[in-house]
Amino acid sequence: MAPEPPLLTMSGITKSFPGVRALDGVDLHVQAGEVHCLLGQNGAGKSTLIKVLAGAHQPDDGTIVWRGDEVTLRSPIAAMRLGIATIYQELDLVEGLSVAENVYLGHESTSAGFVVRGRDARASTAALLKRLGHDEIDPARLVGDLSAAQQQIVSMARALSHEVRLIVMDEPSAALDPDEVDNLFRIVGDLTAAGVAVVYISHRLEEIRRIGDRVTVLKDGRAVAVGLPAKETPTREVIALMTGRNVEYVFPERPQPPGSGAAARPEPVLSVQGLARDGEFAPLDLELRPGEIVGLAGLVGSGRSEILETIFGARKPTSGQVRVDGRALRPGSVRAAVRAGLGLAPEERKAQALLMLESVTRNVSVSSMSRFSYGGWLDRAKELRAARDATRELSLRPDNPSVPVRTLSGGNQQKAVLARWLLRGCRVLLLDEPTRGVDVGARAELYTVIRRLADEGLAVLLVSSEVPEVLGLADRVLVLREGHVVHRAPARDLDEHRVLDLVLASGQHGPTHTEGPHSPATTEGSPAS
Amino acid sequence: MPEFTSRRGLLFGAAAVSAGAVLTGCTSNESKDDDSSEDNKQAVADDKPGKEVTIGFAGPQADHGWLNAINDNAKERAKKYKDVTLEATEGSNDTAAQIGQVETLINKKVDVLVILPADGKALTQVGLKAMKAGIPVVNLDRIFASAQAYRCWIGGDNYGMGLNAGHYIGEKLKGKKNAKVIELAGLDNLELTKQRTKGFDDALKNYSNIEKVARQAAEFTVESGQSKMSQLLQAQKNFDALWNHDDDQGVGALRAIKQAGRDDFLMVGGAGALSAFEEIKQDRGVLKATVLYPPTMAASAIDLARALGQGKGISGMSEFEIPSSVTLYSAVVDKDNVDQYMSTGFK
Amino acid sequence: MTQPASPARPVTEKSPPADGDKSPWRSRVARADVRTLSLLGVLAALVVIGGVTEPDAFLDTDNLQLILTQASVIGVVTVGMTFVIISGGIDLSVGAIVALASVWATTVATQDYGFAGILFTAVVVGLGCGLVNGLLIAYGGMVPFIATLAMLASGRGLALEITDGKTQMVTVDGVLKLGERDSYVLGIPPLVMVFAAVTAVGWLLLNRTTFGRRSVAVGGNAEAARLAGIDVRRQRLYLYLLSGLCCGIAAFLLIILSGSGQNTNGNLYELDAIAAAIIGGTLLSGGRGTITGSVLGVLIFTTITNIFALNNLETAVQQIAKGAIIVAAVLVQRRTATT
């Protein structure tokens, strides 16, 4: 094919939100007629990038060149007029309207300017659905009555109802059965054959191998690889790009392996026995001793966050027990867990942990108000002192706990959450993606803080989708795949390749055995090597 | 209140219709059940049991003292007659609900309907429907938009209320120079409030020494009466008379007057609540009189409905039929005649 | 991060930490002050308007007493409402609860027990309604809007059932006296004292107790509050109980003020209380609000009504102006809050 100018060239796209830089100079080049895959972990910046492309976000910096001309995408409508359509992961359909009405929503064909010509819309919708191989969907039906897969098709029909040159699909296969995925790929094939470009976002690498032409990998708001050949690049290399490090960190030194002598080993503070939730994760056994950091490694959907939230009581287990100091916690009770000394720093910090309108002090003190109150009456001076002490101990910046927490950077917001549990006197810290939304430069400090807390006697359970983070920070590692623990080992015995092998599991999707190949040998509390 | 000219036109039309009805009535057998000895005289409704009549009654929700008295008056009067069966619906302020209730009564084939509509205009259609189905309608107080929708209208005189209140005050303040009057009106978005105010203003025009210096509208509730009256008292440190449209809100107004410690003026109420009558009788406060808007009209409506059902006229009138329109007089009740009205006072 | 909280904001990330040390704090304090000051400014402007248009009637002690007295009943309701809104809820039933409590407390049977009987009944009926609201919302999983709407309907219905549409006169002298001039202490009407006390207690509760903190936390981010170990459901129950209690107290004040109980009492209090809280700076979505702001909101509304009445303006004009002021106040606050 003769070299032709790219359809779309995004260069140096930068976008910041209060507290975090979501995109930091990202480039994306898309050719007409290609399937360009966009890869990256949660929070890598994919959503922000496609929202910039859809006109929903305005970039702070960078240029967008569309068919040779520099353009500004002021609004979703502007993007649509140029021929850029986006199918979001959370479907943006109106359930109370019919299929045809949804497809032509916002650009209804009308007579006299406002009378919607329903029959025309239904006829052309039927044609679009036929083209998509789903003529069984009645254009007159309510979208709310359709299955998730059918809704996906409607979303696609809506994109095609415009003159499109580029379609962005955000994890389109997530809600689909295998044969529906085949149909999706056929449609993608038809589109590209007609010269339409597709930007395809997925976590599933095998899909990318099947239909992708080129791959761009995002990591921490940067493009770590641009335009790799989708078919030839080895899986391991792609995964390593996603989960690896583009900056080498110096992780804090581990103390001497705990239990150099069996007698010195402290009793476990947390023990989890047969904990399971149907459809999320298989029965799990786990012990955590003061001073140690245990890491859970696994890809998205491996049940990592679910495990943490269930231990914390935020989800009710189907079976199993959580014990602290040998005493069983009431299942599904956050309050019981907190009272027993557990603390959770959740993945979605803003949605699940922080009171964004409040000061750092109030965010820190919220879990230990009884300590500064007498019969419900707050001693605010004492509260402020305690919050100051706790945040100072974590070197939270700025060193003024009266500022609103929303003005803090991601890393310092995370410290505010940690300070909350420190102040509470928490003994087991559950960390879910502690560096998510934390600027790359601020991570090393957070690692030091976490290690220091462990050294001071806290037990830490760490979840991260970044393999080096787990390996660098944890003493022991549990590798998860699809809700099962497939391997347990001291972190020093593992390396990135080995973990990638385990999480990817040569055996594709199929149900994995409860016992990983290595698990019998490396059970809980195996003698330190 | 409807204009007199149009009323007369309607009267003729309705009379023509009812004349036909009465003619057929006379030729039928039932009419002979009545006093046949007085063959040539009109058949006049009286207390003696006559033909059985089922009266359907639909009124608004009795969330106010006056409306409650309307229901009570209707029910008590119906109970008095052995030959009357009253089918009363749950009161409703919702137009649609009331239409449904009236339609149910039509389907039940009651003999006569008495309707106090939540909204006169909105219930006109269902009134027409009843009339077309051969069920005569007695329209109580809030008038339908079309005279074809009722056989007889009976109601109070809002304009007359204002007029009589104005004249009473005018006479009391006769000879007083630069007399000041204030008005505490009812719900301002009701037509009847405007009519009362117009009557009041028209009456005051006859007294050149009187000026109306302030008017505020309350909401027929004690709470609003207290609130608006206390503001009026603050605004007007000096005035000679007050007309309050409604005795219910008057309870609040009197409370405000007491709280402000004022007694330097004369007050006239409206409607005829028992509490107002008692206050007038005791004659220890500012309330000296009240202008009636009598809820006994509901009892009269039952009388009219019974007469209609039995095909009779009413005594004291020489016509064979009941009138097509009855406007009640808004009498002024003061210390001199209050005893006579005491039994009609509502709570 | 997946979805940033607010789009298109200037970057704060670039500034070094030391730089952002004091200024955000100052601006926050300033913002809170600006909000209160702007309300005080509106109130001052109203006083000027009142003083200019009706110098004799507006600017005297009697009128001040009048305005504060008129503000007392709805003011007490608004304090409770403010807590509910701060916690992310809404209570549409306040007017109905006031009506129900005021008629229940003035039945002949209740009045037999005298002053204490009336006060006790009003408060218990208020608490009872609040309890039902709270249980339905906190433990029954009902949306506050629906649960309290149901309470509105049934409360008004029950009030009508009790009174039969009749006005129930109070015959207990001790209650009646409290509404009259003789019982003013140092020129302060007892109603106003109760209002002031409820305001003070509300302020302390919100700003100085764990209860207040929890209310704000639940309203700001219920999920975060839950994961921080707060019993969100129990807190919600308490909040509707508090609102019910305030309605009971307000009903008692209204009985004193009007010397009667009527089922039409408390008409549209829910809208007045919500409006006052909103112009006072309480976020309808929860998580932020002040008692001071709400009380200023009530005083602004009462003063407007007073000025209009003194100037003998029509009801229609008063209603239009009230709507305009709500819009203006909220717009002004949004501006001061974002700049």
Of C262, C263, C310, the CB nearest to B231: C310
Return the pLDDT at A114: 60
Domain ranges, ordered by start, for chain C: 56-337
Say if the Cβ atoms of C314 and B228 lie within 8 Å.
no
Interface of A with C in 387-446 (CB under 8 A): 397-400, 402-404, 406-407, 409-410, 412, 420, 424, 436-437, 439
- Residue B221 included in any domain: yes
For all residues of chain A together, what is the average pLDDT?
84
Min distance B326 CA to chain C CA atoms (Å): 27
- Residue B323 included in any domain: no
Please, what is the end-to-end C-alpha distance for chain C in angstroms? 26
User: Which one is predicted more confidently, C244 or A134?
Assistant: C244
Look at chain B and report how many structural domains it folds into: 2
Alpha carbon distance B111, B27 (integer Å):
19
Say if residue B148 is in the same domain as residue B169. no
A207: enclosing H helix or E strand: helix A205-211
Segment A24-32 shows an average pLDDT of: 91
C338 pLDDT more than 60:
no
The residue of chain C with its CA nearest to that of A436 is: C1
Asked whether C124 and C116 are in contact (CB, 8 A), the reply is: no
pLDDT band, residue A47 (cuts 50/70/90): confident
The residue of chain B with its CA nearest to that of C266 is: B223
B6 pLDDT more than 60:
no
pTM metric for this prediction: 0.82
Say if residue B144 is in the same domain as residue B13. yes
Of C7, C17, C214, the CB nearest to A57: C7
Say if the Cβ atoms of C167 and B65 lie within 8 Å.
yes
Kindly give the residue spans of alpha helices, DSSP state H, lying in A425-477. 443-455, 467-473
Q: List chains adjacent to chain C, taking adjacency as at least 3 C-beta pairs closer than 8 Å.
A: A, B
Question: What residues of chain C lie within 8 A of the CB of B228, using their CB?
Answer: 309
Q: What is the pLDDT of residues B225-246, one digit of tens each?
A: 999 999 999 999 999 999 999 9
For all residues of chain B together, what is the average pLDDT?
85
Please, what is the end-to-end C-alpha distance for chain A in angstroms? 58
Question: What residues of chain B lie within 8 A of the CB of C56, using their CB?
Answer: 237
Q: For A88-213, list the strands marked E by DSSP.
A: 110-111, 115-116, 166-170, 197-201
Say if residue B83 is in the same domain as residue B202. no
Please, what is the end-to-end C-alpha distance for chain B in angstroms? 26
Residue identified by tokens 């002490």 is A389
Say if the Cβ atoms of C66 and B62 lie within 8 Å.
no
> Does the beta carbon of B41 lie under 8 angstroms from any beta carbon of chain C?
no
Q: List chains adjacent to chain A, taking adjacency as at least 3 C-beta pairs closer than 8 Å.
A: C
Distance from chain centroid for Cα C181: 26
Of C66, C165, C312, the CB nearest to B230: C66
Asked whether B146 and B318 are in contact (CB, 8 A), the reply is: no
Alpha carbon distance B1, B329 (integer Å):
12
Least reliable range by pLDDT among B1-10, B159-168, C95-104, C191-200: B1-10
- Residue B36 included in any domain: yes
A106 pLDDT more than 50:
yes
> Does the beta carbon of C16 lie under 8 angstroms from any beta carbon of chain A?
no
Min distance A372 CA to chain C CA atoms (Å): 9
Min distance C200 CA to chain B CA atoms (Å): 25
For residue B41, give the CATH number of its domain.
3.40.50.2300
Say if residue B275 is in the same domain as residue B163. yes
Q: How many CB atoms lie within 10 A of CB B242?
A: 27
> Does the beta carbon of B65 lie under 8 angstroms from any beta carbon of chain C?
yes
Strands A115-116 and A61-66: unpaired
Chain C interface, best mutation among A58, A350, A372, by max C CB count within 10 A? A350
A253 pLDDT more than 50:
yes
Of C4, C24, C217, the CB nearest to A404: C24
Alpha carbon distance C84, C239 (integer Å):
6
> Does the beta carbon of B167 lie under 8 angstroms from any beta carbon of chain C?
no
Question: What residues of chain B lie within 8 A of the CB of C259, using their CB?
Answer: 222, 251-252, 255
Alpha carbon distance B232, C306 (integer Å):
9
For all residues of chain C together, what is the average pLDDT?
87
Residue identified by tokens 């056929």 is A186
Segment C76-83 shows an average pLDDT of: 98
B18 pLDDT more than 50:
no
pLDDT above 70: percentage of residues in chain A: 89
Say if the Cβ atoms of C312 and B63 lie within 8 Å.
no
A229 pLDDT more than 60:
yes
What sign does the CA torsion over A233, A236, A242, A244 have? negative
Alpha carbon distance A365, C216 (integer Å):
13
Q: List chains adjacent to chain B, taking adjacency as at least 3 C-beta pairs closer than 8 Å.
A: C
> Does the beta carbon of C57 lie under 8 angstroms from any beta carbon of chain B?
yes
Segment C125-134 shows an average pLDDT of: 98
Min distance B177 CA to chain C CA atoms (Å): 23
- Residue B324 included in any domain: no
Return the pLDDT at C35: 78
pLDDT band, residue A360 (cuts 50/70/90): very high
Q: What would the CATH number be for the domain defined by C56-337?
A: 1.10.3470.10
Q: What is the pLDDT of residues B256-272, one digit of tens each?
A: 999 999 999 999 999 99
Tokens at residue A79, please?
């993007």
Phi, psi angles (nearest 5°) of residue B137? -115, 130
Alpha carbon distance A260, A268 (integer Å):
16
Q: What is the pLDDT of residues C151-186, one digit of tens each?
A: 999 999 999 999 888 889 999 999 999 998 888 999
Say if the Cβ atoms of C260 and B227 lie within 8 Å.
no
Segment A208-227 shows an average pLDDT of: 87
Q: Quick one: C245 exposed, middle or buried, by C-beta within 10 A (0-12, 13-18, 19+)?
A: buried
Say if the Cβ atoms of B221 and C316 lie within 8 Å.
no
- Residue B116 included in any domain: yes
Domain span at residue B340 reads: 158-293+331-344
The residue of chain A with its CA nearest to that of C86 is: A357
Interface of C with A in 20-39 (CB under 8 A): 20-22, 24-25, 28
Return the pLDDT at A260: 47
pLDDT band, residue A132 (cuts 50/70/90): confident
Return the pLDDT at B212: 95
Domains of chain A with bracketed CATH: 8-243 (3.40.50.300), 270-504 (3.40.50.300)
pLDDT band, residue B60 (cuts 50/70/90): confident
Say if residue B247 is in the same domain as residue B308. no
User: Which one is predicted more confidently, A485 or B313?
Assistant: A485
**Residue type at position A183:** N
Chain B interface, best mutation among C163, C315, C319, by max B CB count within 10 A? C315
> Does the beta carbon of B42 lie under 8 angstroms from any beta carbon of chain C?
no
Say if the Cβ atoms of B221 and C315 lie within 8 Å.
no
- Report how far apart, in Å, the C-alpha atoms of C7 and of each of A60, A289, A311 are: 11, 43, 34
Grouping H, G, I as helix, E, B as strand and the rest as coil, residue C235 is helix
Say if the Cβ atoms of C167 and B228 lie within 8 Å.
no
For the CA atoms of chain C, what is the radius of gyration? 21
Question: What residues of chain B lie within 8 A of the CB of C314, using their CB?
Answer: 188, 217
User: Which one is predicted more confidently, C82 or B14?
Assistant: C82
Segment A193-197 shows an average pLDDT of: 90
Return the pLDDT at A299: 78
Say if residue B236 is in the same domain as residue B168. yes
Asked whether B46 and B59 are in contact (CB, 8 A), the reply is: no
pLDDT band, residue A269 (cuts 50/70/90): very high
For the CA atoms of chain B, what is the radius of gyration? 22
Say if the Cβ atoms of B234 and C164 lie within 8 Å.
no
Distance from chain centroid for Cα B245: 14
Say if residue B234 is in the same domain as residue B309. no
Q: CB pairs under 8 A, 24+ apart, for B342-345?
A: B342/B274, B342/B277, B342/B281, B344/B272, B344/B294, B344/B295, B344/B296, B345/B272, B345/B273, B345/B274, B345/B275, B345/B276, B345/B277, B345/B278
Of C56, C258, C315, the CB nearest to B226: C258
A162 pLDDT more than 50:
yes
B1 pLDDT more than 80:
no
Q: Hey, what's the torsion of the CAs at B309, B315, B318, B320, to 10 degrees?
A: 10
Of C20, C210, C287, the CB nearest to A369: C210
- Residue B26 included in any domain: yes
Min distance B236 CA to chain C CA atoms (Å): 8
> Does the beta carbon of C141 lie under 8 angstroms from any beta carbon of chain A?
no
Return the pLDDT at B10: 37
Say if residue B145 is in the same domain as residue B239. no
Alpha carbon distance C133, C54 (integer Å):
44
Least reliable range by pLDDT among A202-206, B207-211, C203-207, C284-288: A202-206
A31 pLDDT more than 80:
yes
Return the pLDDT at C337: 57
Whether this model's ipTM surpasses 0.85 comes out as no
pLDDT band, residue B284 (cuts 50/70/90): confident
Say if the Cβ atoms of A17 and C21 lie within 8 Å.
no
pLDDT above 70: percentage of residues in chain B: 88
Segment A283-288 shows an average pLDDT of: 94
Question: What residues of chain C lie within 8 A of the CB of A92, using their CB?
Answer: none
- Residue B325 included in any domain: no
Return the pLDDT at C7: 39
Asked whether A291 and A311 are in contact (CB, 8 A), the reply is: no
